[in-house]
A and B are shown apart, each in its own frame.
Chain A
Amino acid sequence: MTAAAPSKQYPRLRSAVGGSFNSLTVIGTQAEFYGKTLVSIKYAFVHYRTEMVRLIAQMSLSTGALALIGGTVAVVGFLTLSVGSLVGIQGYNQFSSFGTEALTGFASAYFVTRLLAPVIAGIALAATIGAGATAQLGAMRINEEIDALEVIGIRSIAYLASNRVVAGVIVVIPLYCVAMLTAYFSARFTTTYVYGQSTGVYDHYFHTFLNPTDLIWSFFQAIVMAVVIMMVHTYYGFSASGGPAGVGEAVGRSVRTSLIAAVFVVLFLSLAIYGQSGNFHYAG
């Protein structure tokens, strides 16, 4: 490949057109990878179940320095804990400036379920499980371990990518339960213990406006988000190149892309699920 190529006509035009073609190629490659990943899920279930179980264990507890601070569960729990108390702090103070601080319970039931829990869970998933997957796969790619897998006859996409997508979906269900419960609990704790609202008032408004259908849709959003995030992160891990710095850059780029993708997924799902009328009735 190092042989000198003759210079071509119209170099500027060529580079401009070639650049736009290249970005199209990148999109095509990504789409092909995602398609292959989803199709290969059946191979993952048939052939690589042991690896799947190992990945589930690894994702839920995490490895290295993250395991020392409690792993993915602790990170997700902490983020939603802080968001719940933010709802308590901002909600209580803002509502009490209108004299309607009784509605803080409502803010928790409404905003946490529909808006905050999915978004924060997406951020936490991208940062912990997702970025970890990119780091692992990127290092494997740099060390040519992925090529080695192909050589010994293991389907690398099914073994590494599809398995991670499935494991991500399985892990996200208990994680999302933890996320919702900590967010609700910390909003209640902040409002009733720190700001001293009576628990009866809080619980009344909380339970009145907690809609079970919304909760189920919220779970659905989290699962779709997990699929999207894991696919983006495995793609960037697979396509890492350029030595140690390349792995780091791939992690950064994947976090950026998956955050944007996750937020867009939540937005469009919310628009699709709740519609323009919002499926919400304050009057009951």
Chain B
Amino acid sequence: MTRFDDEVAVTAEIAHGNSHPERLAAVSTLECPDDGVNTAGESSWATRFDVGLARISTAKGAKPVRALGGFFAMALDTFVLIPRRPFAWREFLLQCWFVARVSLLPTMLLAIPLDVLLIFTFNILIMDFGAADYSGTGAAWGTVTQVGPVVTVLVVSGAGATAMCADLGARTIREELDALRVMGVNPIQALVVPRVLAATVVATLLSSVVILVGLIGCFVFSVYVQHVVPGSFVASLTTITHAADLVVSWIKAAVFGLSAGLIACYKGISVGGGPAGVGIAVNETVVFTFVALFAINIVATAVGVKVTI
């Protein structure tokens, strides 16, 4: 009997201590001991397995693994729920507008100095070769393949995703998500799906703006500060950068936006511990999106290089 009480305590602890995506799983393990007590203490192998699993998953060392599992579970839920009706159009449009509004100015402010820095370093190099006419080549190549998608997602994750995470985190702390569940509304469908899609769409659109603004910045800096001939700058833009590079860049931006949205929403709905908890969750959102961004960028670049060269 005492051992059984212990088990119930463990499973109850999971049900309370765990974050929302894992709660469903925890509830299913909670039901098993009830079956066990109905069959007069004859705990089946499956019950013991579940309890053992629960014990392992509540161990302290399992925390990062559990967070990873929770993240993938939520990502899977999101993908499954994207085609499901009714789609939250209103929330989607509001989120798109919100992300675009907070990201547009910082994107430009970040794109211009980064591109100018790139073209400054590059022009020093090619002027030494005596090939300053090809200044536009480096500008187009660097902007389209790297600076465009990377800057976009730095800002989308630094401005949009953090705000999403703060908003969802505050709602989680105020138990608004639980209230939604009680009313029969799936918070993943109502809140997470539109946010993730909004981040993806806006990141793709913003990357075009970044590329355009960056190239204009490069042009102004090269022509007016470093005295490159404007005609040859424009003419050399398309020397090694073609439409395929642009498409790869858009795909990169979309994938980055998607992962930033997913990470922000997961961190938002699994937050705990008051104001400090929200702050920490937002901090982790920034770090994890940046790490994910650079990890994805390596793979995407290696694949993109194979496709375009």
A97 to B117, CA, bound (A): 25
Within 8 A of B (CB), among A238-258: 243-253, 255-256
Are A252 and B145 CB-contacts (below 8 A) given A110-B125, A131-B283, A138-B275?
no
Within the assembled complex, what's the spacing in Å between the Cα atoms of A16 and B280? Answer: 37
Within 8 A of A (CB), among B160-210: 162-163, 165-167, 169-170, 173
- Is the beta-carbon distance between B298 and A85 smaller than 8 angstroms? yes
**Which residues of B sit under 8 angstroms from A124, Cβ to Cβ?**
290
B162: which A residues are within 8 A, CB to CB?
248-249, 251-252, 255
Among B105-113, B246-254, B255-263, the one that faces the other chain is: B105-113
Q: Is A278 an interface residue (CB 8 A)?
A: yes
Q: A131-B282, A249-B163, A251-B162 are in contact. Are A111 and B291 (CB under 8 A)?
A: no
Task: Find chain A residues with CB under 8 A from B287 CB.
Answer: 66, 75, 127-128, 131
**Whole-angstrom distance between the alpha carbons of A211 and B225 in the complex?**
25
Which of chain A's residues 252-282 have a Cβ closer than 8 Å to chain B? 252-253, 255-256, 259-260, 263-264, 266-267, 270-271, 274, 276-278, 280-282
CB of A260 within 8 A of CB of B120, answer: no
A110 to B125, CA, bound (A): 9
| Given A65-B284, A127-B286, A267-B113, also A86-B279 (CB < 8 A) | no
Q: Check if B279 sits within 8 Å of A248, measured CB to CB.
A: yes
Decide if the interface of chain A is mainly helix, strand, loop or mixed.
helix
Picked from A82, A97, A132, A247, the residue with its CB within 8 Å of the CB of B298 is: A82
Asked if B146 contacts A263 (CB within 8 A), the reply is: no
Contact count band on B: 35 or more
In the bound complex, residues from chain A placing their C-beta under 8 Å from that of B278 are 244-245, 247-248
Interface residues of A (CB under 8 A from B): 64-66, 68-69, 75, 78-79, 82-83, 85-86, 89-90, 93-94, 97, 110-111, 114-115, 119, 123-124, 127-128, 131-132, 134-136, 138-139, 142-143, 243-253, 255-256, 259-260, 263-264, 266-267, 270-271, 274, 276-278, 280-283
The 6 closest A-B pairs by CB, nearest first: A248-B166, A278-B124, A252-B162, A135-B279, A245-B170, A139-B276
Interface residues of B (CB under 8 A from A): 63-64, 67, 102, 106, 109-110, 113-114, 116-118, 120-121, 123-125, 127-129, 141, 145-146, 154-155, 158-159, 162-163, 165-167, 169-170, 173, 225-226, 240, 274-284, 286-287, 290-291, 294-295, 297-298, 301-302, 305, 309
A–B pairs, 6, beta carbons within 8 Å: A75-B290, A85-B298, A90-B145, A94-B141, A135-B280, A249-B163
